[in-house]
A = this chain, B = another copy of it.
């Protein structure tokens, strides 16, 4: 796509692993030039974090997924010569991101005050686990730990389950999204007023924000919400909200008045409940429904439900999803060439003027652009 909205902006990414780099990936796909600043020995630790032993070009497939469409500049932040280069880079940059624990950037003289002194208009954006004060500030900012501390592990699963974490790194992803929002908003202000900014987000605050509906309800009532005993979908929602087994699979049913549901399914036992029971007798109602829906295959139920405009859909795994025409028309996949093979990954989910934002530049090798970038900086000085 031509005219990507962030074309011309330069981002220095000191971030590692997922949270900060996911923000960098979004900015890159929106058109920014994102340069990873990596330790000469090993680089971003994510390069070595292989899942299922999948590698490409000496880095983990995971690293490639998060860091395509970026460049890499190798620098030892404890080496004064390298720091001179970094200071030059900062002078030309628009954005700096990092996700080190509090104190690390201070130690190498790259905290906000120091960076601002080099480039007053810089947008300096940092991620911590728990903010920069308080008793947890030096604790590891790891996704599962944050899910566990923030109450989130008590929202999924059923009432008699142990706490159930989300099976995806939700804190990292949300916090990366918030960092990108803060950076973009600050760039807008800089265009208007010429001001730089310090943007701070934390994994914990991002997970609290994520739970804002549930927390506001909790603050008002003081009662811990109780997960449904039967097929929990959302701890605060009435029956039938949840996923149900059928004779040959599973289907999801969202909000629907019980009477309407009873008529659509021809499920007479449901008629014993009034709409006022939908929350207070949630588990009984869902059990009736669970027993009933096991009797026929999903297609039978879905036809009845969708004929009555009831919010219901089947439950698919990835294999089933990939086979759907509705998936294919999205064109969500893109191939990224690494060495002599293609990695298939997803594109940016945002479309602009009807165009999808594909960007198939592979992730850089460690330090791949160091010399090129140094030459650019030297040329600018002449």
Contact = CB atoms under 8 A, between A and B. Distances in A.
Interface of A: 3, 5-9, 18, 26, 30-31, 51-52, 54, 61-62, 64-66, 130-131, 133-137, 139-140, 142-145, 147-157, 161-170, 173-174, 177-178, 180-182, 184-189, 191-193, 195, 197-202, 204-206, 208-221, 224, 227, 231-237, 241-243, 245, 250-255, 279, 311-319, 321, 324-330, 332-333, 343-346, 348-354
A168 B181 contact: no
Task: Specify which of A168, A170, A202, A214 lies most central, judged by the most chain B CB atoms within 10 Å of its CB.
Answer: A168
B164 A156 contact: yes
Task: Determine which residue in A64, A211, A314, A317 has the highest number of CB atoms from chain B within 10 A of its CB, and name it.
Answer: A317
A188 B185 CA distance: 9
Contacts of A351: 198-201
Contact of A215 (B26, B144, B187, B345): B345
Most buried by B among A30, A181, A214, A329: A181
Contacts of A136: 324, 326
B5 A354 contact: no
Given A145-B313, A243-B162, A313-B145, A329 B133 contact: yes
Contacts of A254: 140, 142-145
B227 A330 contact: no
Contacts of A213: 18, 51, 62, 65-66, 168-169
A199 B149 contact: no
B216 A61 contact: yes
Contacts of A352: 182, 186, 197-200
Contacts of A156: 156-157, 164-167
Given A220-B54, A325-B134, A234 B313 contact: no
